[in-house]
């Protein structure tokens, strides 16, 4: 891999972010003509009292503060400048909370829960899928793929409701919602971490149960192909141990396409499991996004989507950089 390639690839990443940010800027403004400031002030006025006068002036004032009174192209340029300095502005619905801060608070929860469950699902699914296609695997392992593939046909939010009902409501083994017990002090203590772990098991279970089948299905197909390859046959004829053939000849080669999918899947965790987070009232990015959509909170929606796009762009870029290490046949140098 050479510097030339790295520079070009990073430039491509920036172009992707720019294009996505632009779409992100214009699409919400094509919408219904709702005005979040006016709506919010209307709500406040309705709940606070009867006086409606002065609202027009307040709307104007807020629009000036948010820069919404300026022509669209000025708004756009400001937006781009802010985007590339990662200044995501204020939340419209939760003013004066800043979008960056809201996302920053939510992201550790999402990453902690989602990334870990996606990785667990990936590892389990890949292994089960590989074993289910391996002629020398014990029959009970090979039959594991079937129930998991059935589970993967159920959407994760439905699985979430099912595990919530059985393990949370009926068995009462796990809490029903939240990221930690109300009243817990969010400080770095063993009790707090155990509490967080206890809260995360059900949502993680919903995601893992659903993901395993997906990964197993893809892996199984690849493994069937790979176990018929000449190099697997020759490895067996050369008297290599079954375990070595399985991992270093079979799995290692069959996994290459899985890595691509894993990269996309990891990038997608932020948005992919919004509904799971909402069901479990988990304080992650999904919940933030859901609430922002409910309250037409443009800036927060923009922020979350931008973070999502950046994470997809970033992960795919990383995958591109990593791929030559995973598969030596892929090279980024121009000579080849």
Partner 1 sequence: MSESVNNREPLLDISGLEVHFETRRGIARAVNEVDLTLYKGERFGLVGESGSGKTTMILALLRMIKTPGFIAGGKAVFDDGTDLLALNAEQVRQTRLKRVAMVPQGAMNSLNPVIRIGEQMMLTMREHGEEGERDELMARVVGLLEKVGLKPEAASLYPHELSGGMKQRACIAQAICLNPQLILADEPTSALDVVVQRQIMQTLRQLQIGLDATVLLVGHDMGLMAQFAERVGIMYGGKLVEVGTVSDIFRNPQHPYTQLLISSIPSFETRGDFKGIPGVALSLLDPPSGCLFHPRCPKATDACAQREPTLKEVSPGQWASCLLHEEEHDATAS
Pick from 85, 172, 238, 335: which binds partner 1 (CB under 8 A)?
238
Nearer to partner 1, 186 or 234 (CB): 234
135 binds partner 1, rule: CB under 8 A:
yes
For the bound state, the minimum distance from the C-beta of residue 264 to partner 1, rounded and expressed in Å, comes to 22
| 326 lines the binding site for partner 1 (CB under 8 A) | yes
Q: Are 81 and 22 in contact (CB under 8 A)?
A: no
Q: Is 260 in the site for partner 1 (CB under 8 A)?
A: no
Instruction: Select 69 or 327, whichever has its Cβ closest to partner 1.
Output: 327
Measured from the CB atom, the residue of 104 and 228 that comes closer to partner 1 is 228
Please give the structure tokens belonging to residue 112: 């902690």
Identify the residue among 234, 257, 293, 322 touching partner 1 (CB under 8 A): 234
Q: Work out whether the CA dihedral 323, 327, 329, 335 comes out positive or negative.
A: positive
Among 240, 261, 275, 317, binds partner 1 (CB under 8 A): 240
Instruction: Please report whether residue 231 would count as binding partner 1 according to CB under 8 A.
Output: yes
The piece of 37-45, 192-200, 209-217, 227-235 that touches partner 1 (CB under 8 A) is 227-235
Which span sits near partner 1 by CB under 8 A: 62-70, 204-212, 269-277, 326-334?
326-334
Q: How far is CA 49 from the centre of its chain?
A: 42
CB–CB of 330/129 below 8 Å?
A: no
Do the Cβ atoms of 129 and 334 come closer than 8 Å? no
Is 244 one of the binding residues for partner 1 (CB under 8 A)? yes
Residue with smaller CB distance to partner 1, 101 or 244: 244
Contact flag: residue 230 with partner 1 (CB under 8 A): yes
Asked whether position 235 contacts partner 1 by CB under 8 A, the answer is yes
The binder of partner 1 chosen from 2, 150, 241, 257 (CB under 8 A): 241
- Tell whether residue 224 is a contact of partner 1 (CB under 8 A): no
Q: Is residue 239 a contact residue for partner 1 (CB under 8 A)? A: yes
Which of 139, 328 has the CB closer to partner 1? 328
Q: In this complex, which beta carbon is closest to partner 1, that of residue 53 or of residue 230? A: 230
Can residue 236 be called a binding residue for partner 1 (CB under 8 A)? yes
**Can residue 252 be called a binding residue for partner 1 (CB under 8 A)?**
yes
Asked if 322 touches partner 1 (CB under 8 A), the answer is no
Which residues would be at the binding site for partner 1 (CB under 8 A)? Answer: 135, 229-231, 233-241, 244, 248-249, 252-253, 326-329
């Amino acid at each position: 891999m050479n510097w030339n390639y790295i520079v070009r690839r990073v430039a491509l990443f920036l172009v992707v972010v720019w294009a996505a940010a632009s779409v992100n800027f214009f699409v919400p403004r094509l919408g219904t003509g709702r005005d979040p400031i006016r709506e919010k002030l209307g709500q406040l006025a309705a709940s606070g009292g009867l006086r409606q006068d002065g609202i027009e002036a307040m709307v104007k004032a807020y629009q000036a503060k948010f820069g919404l009174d300026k022509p669209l192209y000025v708004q756009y340029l400001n937006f781009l400048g802010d985007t590339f300095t990662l200044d995501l502005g204020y939340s419209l619905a939760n003013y004066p909370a800043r979008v960056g801060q809201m996302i920053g608070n939510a992201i550790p929860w999402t990453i902690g829960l989602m990334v870990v469950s996606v990785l667990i699902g990936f590892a389990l699914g890949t292994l089960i899928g590989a074993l289910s296609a391996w002629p020398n695997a014990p029959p009970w392992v090979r039959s594991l793929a079937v129930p998991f593939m059935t589970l993967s046909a159920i959407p994760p939010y439905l699985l979430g409701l099912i595990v919530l009902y059985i393990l949370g409501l009926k068995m009462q083994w796990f809490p029903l919602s939240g990221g930690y017990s109300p009243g817990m002090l969010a400080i770095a203590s063993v009790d707090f971490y155990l509490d967080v772990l206890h809260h995360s098991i059900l949502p993680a279970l919903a995601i893992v149960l659903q993901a395993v089948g997906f990964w197993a299905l893809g892996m199984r197909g690849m493994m069937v192909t790979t176990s018929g390859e000449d190099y697997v046959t020759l490895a067996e004829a050369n008297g290599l141990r079954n375990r070595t053939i399985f991992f270093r000849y079979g799995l290692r080669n069959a996994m290459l396409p899985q890595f691509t999918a894993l990269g996309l899947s990891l990038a997608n965790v932020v948005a992919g499991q919004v509904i799971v987070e909402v069901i479990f009232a988990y304080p992650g990015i999904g919940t933030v996004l859901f609430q922002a959509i409910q309250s037409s909170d443009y800036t927060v929606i923009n922020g979350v989507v931008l973070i999502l796009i950046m994470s997809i762009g970033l992960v795919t870029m990383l995958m591109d950089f990593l791929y030559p290490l995973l598969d030596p046949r892929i090279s980024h140098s121009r000579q080849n």
